[in-house]
């Protein structure tokens, strides 16, 4: 039982190390991190209901999972095919497409979830400044 617990703790360490690698070395992950912080910050400020949080968290997770899997694909392709190969390009391009689709979908979800309450908060300030 102790070995099982130790191996589970080690597994979490490996996972966090992998996520850390993505954040440190993948430039697009910096964009995802900023978007995550902004979305969570806005969600807190707007006091989103639980169901909106659930959708927002799933959208954020979808982007991070796609980015992390894309990084894994790129690393494995680079290892397996150090020279340029058309199929290596396909693998990398398809992984990048997954990230693009996830990011676009998450922007749409963010607009649907955050947009209406944000407008409700911002419009009174805007209309007061134009009087």
Within a 10 A sphere around the Cβ of 29, how many other Cβ atoms? 22
The answer to whether residue 4 sits within a structural domain is: no
The answer to whether residue 19 sits within a structural domain is: no
How far apart, in whole angstroms, are the C-alpha atoms of residue 33 and residue 40?
11
Rg of the Cα trace of the chain?
Answer: 20
Query: What are the tens digits of pLDDT across the range 97-118?
Result: 999 999 999 999 999 999 999 9
> CATH number for the domain including 119?
1.10.287.3610
Number of domains in the chain: 1
Q: Domain of 106?
A: 28-129
The answer to whether residue 59 sits within a structural domain is: yes
pLDDT at 124: 80
The answer to whether residue 11 sits within a structural domain is: no
The answer to whether residue 14 sits within a structural domain is: no
The answer to whether residue 2 sits within a structural domain is: no
The answer to whether residue 85 sits within a structural domain is: yes
Query: What are the tens digits of pLDDT across the range 60-95?
Result: 999 999 999 999 999 999 999 989 999 999 999 999
Is residue 67 part of the annotated active site? The answer reads: yes
How far apart, in whole angstroms, are the C-alpha atoms of residue 26 and residue 49?
33
Query: What are the tens digits of pLDDT across the range 9-26?
Result: 999 999 999 999 999 999
pLDDT at 1: 86
Considering 26, 67, 74, 120, which one is annotated as catalytic?
Answer: 67
Taking CA atoms, 13 is separated from 16, 127, 131, in Å, by 5, 51, 56
pTM of the full structure: 0.88
């Amino acid at each position: 039982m102790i070995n099982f617990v130790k191996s589970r703790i080690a597994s979490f360490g490996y996972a966090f190390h992998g996520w850390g690698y993505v954040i440190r070395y993948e430039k697009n992950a910096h964009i995802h991190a900023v978007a995550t912080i902004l979305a969570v910050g806005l969600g807190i400020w707007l006091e989103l209901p639980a169901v909106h949080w659930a959708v927002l968290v799933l959208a954020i997770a979808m982007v991070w999972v796609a980015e992390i899997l894309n990084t894994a694909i790129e690393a494995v392709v680079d290892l397996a095919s150090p020279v340029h190969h058309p199929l290596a390009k396909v693998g990398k391009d398809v992984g990048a497409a997954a990230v693009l689709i996830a990011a676009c979908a998450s922007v749409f979800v963010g607009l649907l979830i955050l947009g209406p309450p944000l407008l409700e908060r911002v419009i009174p300030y805007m209309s007061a400044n134009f009087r």
